[in-house]
Structure 1
Amino acid sequence: MVEDRCVRCHQGEEDTNHVFRLCPTTKEIWNQLNFTWVFNNSIPDLWNWLTWVFNQWTNEQCRIFCCGLWLIWANRNKVIYEGKSSTSHDISKQINSYISELDGIKNKAFILETNARPKQQVQRANVVIYFDAAFDSLNFRSRSGLVVKDEGGRTIAIKSILHVNVASPFVAEAHAGFQATKLGINMGFHILDILGDSKTVITKCQDVNRDRSTIGAIISDIQSLKPHFQEISFYFIPRLENTEAHRLAKEALKNGEEQYLEGGTSRPFRGEIEQNRLGSSS
């Protein structure tokens, strides 16, 4: 019967197996989230398939997967009850944005908890690079803001970099962390501390295991740069302690310019033509 057809593709019979696995729109969503591995089985039953998925991968992946199931169903209901249809690209963006929002809430809770504790003066013995990112959700671009300070806390370099085709603020923060690591190598540091206010990104940079989340490839790139250092450490800091990098990233996003300032000399540059021994990160 016509009314039994999928409201999105109008091809298969609309049961839960079709909605979450077989519909072409659903397959496109899982593909855009880099979750094509969920099809690497021949399990016909939906519930056994869900059990298999949850047993295969990390908590981070399962969290994204559950968010995907929820928004796939929610968008299906919008088609039926509101007559509003979204593309697979729009739905995958919604999923990434929701996960980023959850991460932001976790970070804010951590900051509130940290700010409630007695303040202690942190003494750092190493050169430090602070990083942050600003994200343009309309054009899927971001800017990385990097601030380099010596052992005495004096700013010795700043840098802002453009990234294109960025899916979410979460990805933007990962790009900024990678750029901070590259900058440390380019400036010849052998011992370095890298500080950022994205707790999730910092935790993944600290981990030595393979990351299978949506930013896994970028985290892998960061891990591959660690052997360039005698010692490199990643630390989470509250946003209030990262205002310089945050402001630099926001200003760069607003004015559309990249810059590099070291030792009192400013050099505007274009990210797509910048050449260095580590190559481009975008």
Structure 2
Amino acid sequence: MCPICGIEPETTFHIMWNCPSARDVWSVGNAKFQKNVYAGPDFLQVVDGMLRKCSGVEFQQFVGVARRIWHRRNEFVHGGSFIHPSYVLKQALQLSEDFNNLLMTSQESSTPVCSGMLKWQPPPSGWYKVNWDAGIDRRHGRLGLGALIRDSQGNLVAAKSLSHSGLLDPTSAKALAALMAIKLCKAWGFHNLKMESDAKVLVDAVNSTEVDDSSKGHLVADIKLCLVGLQAWKLVYIPCKINWAAHALASLAMTENLDSEWGYVPPDCIGGILEADRIGSVSSDLF
């Protein structure tokens, strides 16, 4: 029997579509999801019907909701927790946003560009280059944040790794890392900042003059507020392959559960990466 309602046998159609708990989720979603009255017994028929009547974005959301309903069932059976229908929908929409962000990143990183653009580049004289990243440890329920600042010669001037309790979606986690990085710059007195992130959705949101009303909107607003008072700043998107040093710092924080800050002398985990970035930037200038 269905472990949630205890009324009917737990078929795929029942648990994904016909169980009262599943209907509660579909009822708070898109109107096209609510109006589908197919009586079963094959859930694939529901999927086929949605594919025919929904737009690409709507169908993507439908798949996300279905995925979260199945995960909620597993979380209830194996962990005893049961998530509210509106939060299931919120998670599904965030999943759709994260997928589009990943897809956009993949497409842009595969776009043919000159080899020099695929290497870390130092900032102009008088400016500082800031990179950040975040890692997610779902098993232990914590985030790892990493940020570093380099001068126009590619030398490290400051870096930080911070372990943060709780779980966030990838874009929001990187927004927290961005806040940490900007605050680090201000603490060290650096004000002309060339900032880079491999989260394009975050980059676009911070650069936009529009209010971000998504789930990460409050973090975007905090970043914009934190940027006030800097002499000059510029934030651009980069492929993740250029962001290895920040990724290593985030991974260090995630695995070691630490809160550490360095000035001028880098930690062992990024020493080789910094040197490789420096050599690569010289090579790209020459060729």
Flag whether TM exceeds 0.5 (same fold). Answer: yes
Which one of the candidate residues 116, 123, 127 is aligned to 1:120? 116
CA distance in 1, matches of 2:235, 2:26: 38
SS in 2 for 1:139: coil
SS in 2 for 1:185: helix
Relative distance call for 1:174 and 1:65 in structure 2 (3 A) is farther
Q: Is contact 1:158-1:261 (8 Å) kept?
A: yes
Aligned to 1:20: 26
The answer to which of 99-108 and 126-135 deviates more is 99-108
Aligned to 1:59: none
Aligned to 1:33: none
Unaligned runs of 5+ in 1: 31-37, 39-45, 51-62, 267-282
Aligned to 2:283: none
Q: Is contact 2:197-2:243 (8 Å) kept?
A: yes
Aligned to 2:20: 8
Relative distance call for 1:146 and 1:65 in structure 2 (3 A) is farther
Relative distance call for 1:76 and 1:141 in structure 2 (3 A) is closer
What is the deviation of 1:179?
1.3
Greater relative contact order structure (CA < 8 Å, 6+ sep): 2
TM-score (norm 2): 0.64
Q: Is contact 2:122-2:151 (8 Å) kept?
A: no
Relative distance call for 1:73 and 1:181 in structure 2 (3 A) is same
CA distance in 1, matches of 2:92, 2:77: 15
Q: Is contact 1:93-1:167 (8 Å) kept?
A: no
CA distance in 1, matches of 2:123, 2:248: 22
Summarize deviations over 1:106-146 as a string: whole Å, max 9, x none: 21221121xx2122364521111110111112333211111
Q: Is contact 2:122-2:152 (8 Å) kept?
A: no
Summarize deviations over 1:158-196 as a string: whole Å, max 9, x none: 101222223212211111111111112111122111111
Q: Is contact 1:149-1:155 (8 Å) kept?
A: yes
What is the deviation of 1:215?
0.8
Aligned-residue CA RMSD in angstroms?
Answer: 3.9
Q: Is contact 1:146-1:245 (8 Å) kept?
A: yes
Which one of the candidate residues 87, 96, 108 is aligned to 2:82? 87
Relative distance call for 1:140 and 1:107 in structure 2 (3 A) is farther
* Structure 2 residue identity aligned to 1:112: S
Aligned to 1:240: 241
* Structure 1 residue identity aligned to 2:134: A
Q: Is contact 1:127-1:148 (8 Å) kept?
A: yes
Aligned to 2:94: 96
SS in 2 for 1:202: helix
Relative distance call for 1:96 and 1:8 in structure 2 (3 A) is same
The answer to which of 99-108 and 184-193 deviates more is 99-108
What is the deviation of 1:260?
0.2
* Sequence identity percentage: 19
What is the deviation of 1:95?
4.9
Aligned to 2:175: 174
Q: Is contact 1:146-1:158 (8 Å) kept?
A: yes
Aligned to 2:210: 209
Please say which structure displays the higher CA radius of gyration.
Answer: 2
Relative distance call for 1:72 and 1:225 in structure 2 (3 A) is same
Unaligned runs of 5+ in 2: 1-6, 9-13, 36-55, 268-287
SS in 2 for 1:228: coil
SS in 1 for 2:162: strand
SS in 2 for 1:244: helix
* Structure 1 residue identity aligned to 2:145: S
The answer as to 2:234 corresponding to 1:229 is no
* Structure 2 residue identity aligned to 1:184: C
* Structure 1 residue identity aligned to 2:210: N
* Structure 2 residue identity aligned to 1:117: V
CA distance in 2, matches of 1:235, 1:8: 46
